[in-house]
Each structure stands twice: as C-alpha cells, then as structure tokens.
C-alpha cells in the first residue's frame, strides 16, 4: 500500500501510533538526541577497531566532544520546561511585541491621532480663560483692601459744638471719588461670580488636562509601538505636575493663606509659559502625523 501510494503521488496516511509518537513530550527528543550521539560514538569506535588502527589524536578529541555533548544533553533533560519557557519569546514574531502594525485599526489612524492636539489646543485657550477668571476674583479681594486703606486716609468729618454734622460740600475730594469708583467696580465684579467660575474652570482644566496628557502618550504608543523622550514629552509631564501642584494649594488658599495664593499664581504663570513653549514641538508632531498616517 505504501509503495502504491508513493507511486501515485498520494499523501501518506498517519496512523494513530505515529500520531501518539508525534505528541510525546519534549523529553522524548532529548532521549533521541542522546541515543543518536551514543550511536555515532560507537560507530567511530567500531570503524577504528575494524581497520586494526589505533585511535588518532583527532579521534580522541572527537570522543571527548561527544561525551561532553552527552553530559550536556542529560542536564538539559531535567531542565526542559524552564528552557522552553525562556526560549519561547525568541520564536515569537517580532511584531507581536509592539503595538503598531494595524491590529488596533482606527486607533492607529489619523483621526484618532488628531484628538490630542485638538484637545490640547482647546485646553491652552481655556488655561488663559481660567487665568483671567482667577485674576478677576483676585481683584474683588484686593479692591476691598484698597478701599479700606483709602478710607483710613480720609480726614475726620468736623462736627458743630452741638454735635450736628456740617452741611455737605457740593464737590467731594479726589480721595472720596476714588473710593466711590473702586466700590462700584467691586460691586460689578461680585455680580460676575468670578470665584465660582474660576473654581469650576480649574477643576475642568485639571481633569481634562491630566487625562489628555496620559492619552497623548497612549496614542503615540498605539501608532508607533514606543514613546519618544524629548522636549514635548518632558514639557507635557511638567505641565501635568504643575496642574496638580496648583490644585493642591486650594485648601490653604480658601483659609486665607496669602503665601499659598501667591504660589498658586506663580505656578500657573509658569505653566502657561511652558504651554506656550511646547506649541512649536506639538505642531511638528502634527506634521508627522499627516506624513505617516492615513484617514480615518
């Protein structure tokens, strides 16, 4: 049957016994290697004895090499499982260890890559707006302090001998006019509810900013399979830290700590400057996205 099958070019049928032999554990192959090495060694010795010639120096070296290989194989038999686990990564396809390669579909495309620059551009504008709200709320507090200082500079109102106030003069002094102006300005600022608006803007900026900073790194990894340490990455990490540090100063600020307020302003000013410095590197990355990605 086998000869007929070979003549006709038919594939050989694998019997159940042969399948069992193919499914035997890996230590069977180690035994096979040991037996083949021993068989080779015996063949060399038998050939030398059959020719009635003493073993040469080369044959002695060959025997020593075969014996060493036999000893190594005996040691490998007991460590077959750990060695298999160690060698497994070397047999995997290299693309299986990276993110890029098309397995993430649209998440590696241009549409998904442009989310980060668009959101960060909006956060930059929102950062300027939050700073404006914070400055207006600060004006509410500082105007009250200015008014209190100006009132201390006013001359006391003279009274008549009977205790009655004199008739008011038709024109007020410049100092009183300044006080009146600042008082009206403060009333308008209070109507704007800048304290609540600034607090809400800071919360939104912190939440979306930190999330988008992490998303930016994740998106880069999805597209390329790695991150690129450089000015843009480090500046983004610094901005995220400054957001968190500025938010951590809110509790002492609410208790009236002027040092915490000044530090809060300084951190946010530095954050804005770092944001501005980061814009050119972000634009370069956007150009690379259009160069190396496709829609969608």
244-276: pLDDT as tens digits:
999 999 999 999 999 999 999 999 999 999 999
Q: Which residues 6+ apart lie within 8 Å of 288 measured at CB?
A: none
pLDDT at 191: 94
Burial 40-69 (b: 16+ CB within 10 A, else e): ebeeeeeeeeeeeeeeeeeeeeeeeebeee
Q: CB–CB of 253/138 below 8 Å?
A: no
Confidence of residue 90 (pLDDT cuts 50, 70, 90): very low
Task: Provide the percentage of residues in the chain whose pLDDT is more than 90.
Answer: 46
Greater confidence, 113 or 57?
113
Residue 265, class by beta-carbon neighbours within 10 Å (0-12 exposed, 13-18 middle, 19+ buried)? middle
pLDDT digits 0-9 by tens, 52-70: 444 444 556 666 665 665 6
pLDDT band at 286 (very low <50, low <70, confident <90, very high): very high
Lowest mean pLDDT among 183-192, 217-226, 253-262: 217-226
Residue 12 phi/psi, 5° resolution? -75, 140
Average pLDDT over residues 106-127: 92
Task: Quote the pLDDT of residue 175.
Answer: 86
For 77-86, the pLDDT digits (tens) are 554 444 444 4
Q: Of 16-30, 50-64, 208-222, which has the strongest mean pLDDT?
A: 208-222
Which residue from 72, 74, 67 is spatially nearest to 44, judged by alpha carbons? Answer: 67
Lowest mean pLDDT segment, chosen from 29-33, 97-101, 152-156: 29-33
Q: What is the pLDDT of residue 65?
A: 60
What does the mean pLDDT of the chain come to?
75
The whole-angstrom separation of Cα 270 and Cα 267 is 5
Question: The tokens of 1 are what?
Answer: 């049957």
Q: Are 274 and 238 in contact (CB under 8 A)?
A: yes
Q: What is the mean pLDDT of residues 1-13?
A: 43
pLDDT in the model for residue 273:
96
Predicted local confidence at residue 17, as pLDDT: 44
């Amino acid at each position: 049957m086998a000869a007929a099958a070979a003549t006709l070019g038919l594939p050989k049928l694998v019997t159940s016994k042969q399948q069992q032999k193919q499914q035997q554990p890996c230590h069977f192959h180690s035994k096979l290697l040991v037996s083949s090495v021993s068989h080779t060694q015996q063949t060399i010795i038998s050939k030398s004895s059959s020719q009635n010639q003493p073993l040469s120096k080369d044959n002695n070296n060959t025997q020593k090499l075969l014996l060493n290989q036999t000893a190594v194989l005996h040691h490998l038999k007991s460590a077959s499982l750990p060695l298999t686990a160690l060698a497994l990564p070397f047999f995997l396809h290299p693309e299986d260890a990276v993110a890029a390669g098309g397995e993430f579909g649209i998440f590696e495309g241009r549409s998904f890559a442009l989310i980060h620059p668009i959101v960060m551009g909006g956060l930059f504008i929102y950062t300027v707006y939050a700073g404006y709200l914070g400055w207006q709320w600060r004006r509410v507090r500082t105007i009250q302090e200015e008014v209190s200082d100006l009132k201390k500079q006013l001359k006391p109102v003279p009274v008549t001998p009977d205790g009655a106030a004199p008739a008011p003069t038709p024109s007020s002094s410049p100092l009183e006019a300044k006080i009146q102006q600042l008082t009206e300005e403060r009333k308008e600022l209070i109507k704007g509810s800048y304290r609540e608006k600034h607090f809400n803007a800071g919360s939104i900026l912190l939440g979306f900013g930190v999330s988008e900073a992490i998303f930016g790194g994740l998106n880069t990894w999805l597209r390329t399979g790695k991150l690129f340490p450089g000015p843009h990455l480090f500046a983004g990490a610094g901005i995220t830290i400054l957001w968190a540090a500025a938010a951590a100063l809110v509790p002492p600020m609410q208790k009236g700590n002027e040092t915490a307020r000044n530090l809060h302003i300084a951190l946010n000013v530095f954050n804005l400057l770092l944001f501005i410095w980061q814009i050119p590197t972000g634009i370069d990355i956007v150009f690379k996205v259009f160069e190396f990605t496709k829609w969608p």
